[in-house]
Structures are given as C-alpha cells and as structure tokens.
Homo-oligomer: A and B are copies of this chain.
Amino acid sequence: MRASYIQEPIQWASEFRFFVPVQVRFSDTDMYGHLNNTYNFSYFEFARIEYFKHIGLMNDWLNPEGHTIPVVADLQCDYVKQVFFDEKLRIHVKSASVGTSSVDIHYHATNEKGDTLFTGRGTIVQISKKTGKGFPWSEEEKSLFLAN
C-alpha cells in the first residue's frame, strides 16, 4: 500500500467500519485472465452507494423531487495484487475527510485472508440540481460521515 493518500497503512486500514461483499463475476474478467481494471471502479461505486444508504443519505439523492445529487469529482485506484474470477472480496468504505459540500471517500479491497488487493479514493461533491453548484452539508450530515 504505497498510495499517497495512505500515511500509516495499518492505522488507515483499521479505520474502516463498513464493507460490502463482492464476488468477481466471469464477465468482469478479461483475456489476460484476471479482473479487468475498469471493474474496480464499479465495485467502488457499488460499495460507496451501499455506504451512503447505510448512513441514510441515498434516499434524498434518488428522490426525483430531491434538490441535490452527488457528483464524482475524481477517482483513483491503486492495484496491489492481481484479482481473479470468483474471488470473494470485501470493499471497505470510509469518509476520510469532509469539506463544506464534499467528502473524500476511501476504499480498501481485501480478499478472504485479509490481503489488500487494491485501494482507492475519490471526492464526492453534493450539488444543487437547480444551480449545478456545490450544496453544503448540514451539520448532521457531516457528523454522519465522520461517525462511519
């Protein structure tokens, strides 16, 4: 785990309190015989949305009458070990830091033995559907991120 967003690997890994299980499907592999590098980001998206549901934020973002929507500002993935068909992964998710209308989400993918397979991070911004600009978190939302 040499990514720039990880200062202390052991501490970093210990701070995740949420994960989703993901099983590598056959259609996620490519002709090199392993997980194609684009699917890691699908797994991140799936895990992130489950995390947002867990916190209680997703309802508003799915509501056609809602005022805000989450937007991905950036995403990155560091590939540590090759991943193969049928492996059972855990995609761990946490909020590493919270800004006015953004949140920095970190990801840690492990196998059943606990080995790190890949790590990642990315900023999500809450924007107003009307203005397209950043829409500030409430204090309650901030505390939800920081507690999970």
Residues on A lying within 8 angstroms of B by beta carbon are: 3, 25-27, 29-34, 36-39, 41-42, 45-46, 49, 53, 62, 69, 71-79, 85-86
Q: Which residues on B sit within 8 Å (CB–CB) of A79?
A: 71-75
Give the CA-CA distance A74 to B5 in the complex, in Å.
13
Tell me if A's interface is mostly helix, strand, loop or mixed: mixed
Residue of A41, A72, A73, A85 ringed by the most chain B CB atoms within 10 A: A41
Q: How close is A6's CB to chain B, nearest CB, in angstroms?
A: 12
Chain B: which residue is nearest A33 at the CB level? Answer: B31
Q: Which residues on B sit within 8 Å (CB–CB) of A74?
A: 3, 76-79
Contact A31 B85 (CB under 8 A): yes
Give the CA-CA distance A79 to B127 in the complex, in Å.
14
Chain B: which residue is nearest A35 at the CB level? Answer: B31
A–B complex contacts, Cβ < 8 Å, 8 sampled: A26-B46, A31-B31, A31-B85, A38-B41, A62-B85, A71-B79, A74-B76, A74-B77
Top 5 nearest A-B pairs (CB, nearest first) are A76-B76, A29-B31, A38-B41, A37-B72, A74-B78
Chain B: which residue is nearest A36 at the CB level? Answer: B27
Residue of A36, A39, A46, A79 ringed by the most chain B CB atoms within 10 A: A36
